[in-house]
Amino acid sequence: MKAISYVRARNVGEAIEAFAAAGDDARYIAGGTNLYDLMKLGIEQPRHLIDIATLEGADTIDTSGDHLFFGAGALMADVAEDAVVKREYPILAESLWKAASQQLRNMATVGGNLLQRTRCPYFRNGANGIYPCNKRAPGSGCAAIGGLDRTQAVLGVSDACTAVSPGDWPVALTALDAAIELRGPAGMRSVPIAEFYLLPGKTPHLEFDIGQGEIITGISVPKSDAGRNSTYLKVRDRQSYAFALASAAVALKMDGGRVARALIALGGVGTRPWRAGAAERHLTGQTLDRAVALDAAKAAFADARAGKHNAFKVELGARTLADAIMNAGGKIQ
C-alpha cells in the first residue's frame, strides 16, 4: 500500500495553494473517472490528491451572454441536458451523450474531460515496462508503430507517437473555437482550444498546454449562427459507449441550399482533436449535396498517414464526415 494524502479545497485559490504545498506528486481530482483508472494501471502514482469537485462556482452553466460559459466542474450530464445547449448547439449535447454512459456523465466534469489520456493499449497496459511508450516513458520508443495499431491515429502522427486523442467533447469544442480558461500560481490565462492540445512531435509526453499547478476553471464558447445546424456523429466498434474509430463535429451556416460557413473537427483519427480546415474551405460557398460533402471530407484526409492495420480509418473517417455534413445541412440520407 502506498500512502496518499487527501484534502478538499473550497475555492480555486485554496486548491492552488494546496498543490504548491504538496509538490510535484500532487494531482487535482474532480469526478476521478479517468485518474482512478490511470492510478490502478500504475501510470499515475500521485502521493497527494486535491479534491476540486465542490469548488465555489465551479459548476456554472451560463448561456446568457455572447459566449456560452461552462465552469470546469459542471457535470457532463448537466451540460448535455441544458435547454439552450440542446436546442441551439446540438453538436455539444450530442458529443456529451455519446461520450459515456449515464452513470459516468453523472460523475465526470467537462473540465476533467478535456484532460482525458489516450486509450492506446501500449500506453495503458505497459506500465510494467513490457511495452515501450514515449508518452509514458519519454525516449523508450513506441510499440504501436509497426505493432497493433488498428485504433491509432492517421492525422498528426510522428515517428515518436501515433496515439489517438480519445475525447468527444473536445472535438465539438474545437469545431466551435472554444477557449480554455486556466488559473495557476502565475494568475489567470485563456488558451484557444486549438493550442491547448499539443502535437506529439518528438515530445509526445507533453500533451496539453497546462502548467504545473494550473487548474482549468472554465470553457468559453463563442455563440455561432451555425450552432443550430450542427451535429456530432460517432462511429465505433459497438454502439454502447465505446471510443470512436472516427467521429465528426460539424456546424453549418446555410443560405438556402448553399453553405455560407462551415465549422468542422474530427475525432478518433488524430493525435489531438483535429480541425478540418481543408474541408471547411472546400464546402464554403458550395451548394450542398452528397458529392460535394464527400469531396470536402476527402480533402480533410489528404495528409493522412496510415500504419500497418489502420488504413481503413482514412475511408471510414471521410465517409463519417460526409454523413455528418449532410446531417448538419438538413440533408439526412
Residue percentage of the chain with pLDDT more than 70 = 98
Q: Contact 257/287 with Cβ under 8 angstroms? A: yes
- Give me the helix-helix angle, 290-300 and 312-328, nearest 10°: 130
Residue with the larger pLDDT of the pair 13 and 129: 13
Mean pLDDT of 22-39: 88
More confident residue, 23 or 110: 110
Mean pLDDT is lowest, of 15-29, 67-81, 192-206, for 15-29
The average pLDDT across 180-192 equals: 97
Rounded distance between C-alpha atoms, residue 256 and residue 92, angstroms? 24
Residue pair 320/248 in contact (Cβ under 8 Å)? The answer is yes
Tens digits of residue pLDDT in 46-104: 899 999 999 999 999 999 999 999 999 999 999 999 999 999 999 999 999 999 888 98
Total count of residues recorded for the chain = 333
Q: Return the domain boundaries, the chain.
A: 5-54, 230-328
**Span of 85-89, 171-175, 328-332 with lowest mean pLDDT:** 328-332
pLDDT in tens, 37-57: 888 888 888 899 999 999 999
Helix/strand/coil percentages in the chain, nearest 5: 30, 25, 50
What is the assigned CATH class of domain 230-328? Answer: alpha beta
Q: Is the pLDDT of residue 127 over 70?
A: no
The DSSP symbol for 13 reads H
**pLDDT exceeds 60 at position 333:** no
Euclidean distance between CA atoms 82 and 63, whole angstroms: 9
Return mean pLDDT, the chain.
94
Residue type, 168: D
Q: Is the pLDDT of residue 157 over 60?
A: yes
Q: Which three cell numbers stand for residue 219?
A: 470553457
pLDDT at 69 (0 to 100)? 98
Torsion of CA 161, 162, 166, 172, to 10 degrees: 110
* Alpha-carbon gap, residue 5 to 21, rounded angstroms: 12
Instruction: Quote the CA–CA distance of 256 and 287 in Å, as a whole number.
Output: 9
What is the arrangement of strands in the sheet containing 5-8, beginning at the earlier edge strand? 5-8, 48-51, 26-29
Q: pLDDT band for 331, please (50, 70, 90 cuts).
A: low
- CATH of 5-54 among 3.90.470.10, 1.10.1380.10, 3.10.20.30, 3.30.43.10: 3.30.43.10
User: Per-residue pLDDT tens for 250-302?
Assistant: 999 999 999 999 999 999 999 999 999 999 999 999 999 999 999 999 999 99
pTM of the model: 0.95
Which cell numbers in the block locate residue 65?
451572454
The secondary structure of 105-153 as a DSSP string is HTT-BHHHHTTPPP--HHHHS-TTSSS-BTTTSTTS-BTTTTSS-TTS-
Alpha-carbon span 215 to 280, nearest angstrom: 32
User: Does the pLDDT value for residue 332 go beyond 80?
Assistant: no
User: What percent of the chain is predicted at pLDDT more than 90?
Assistant: 85
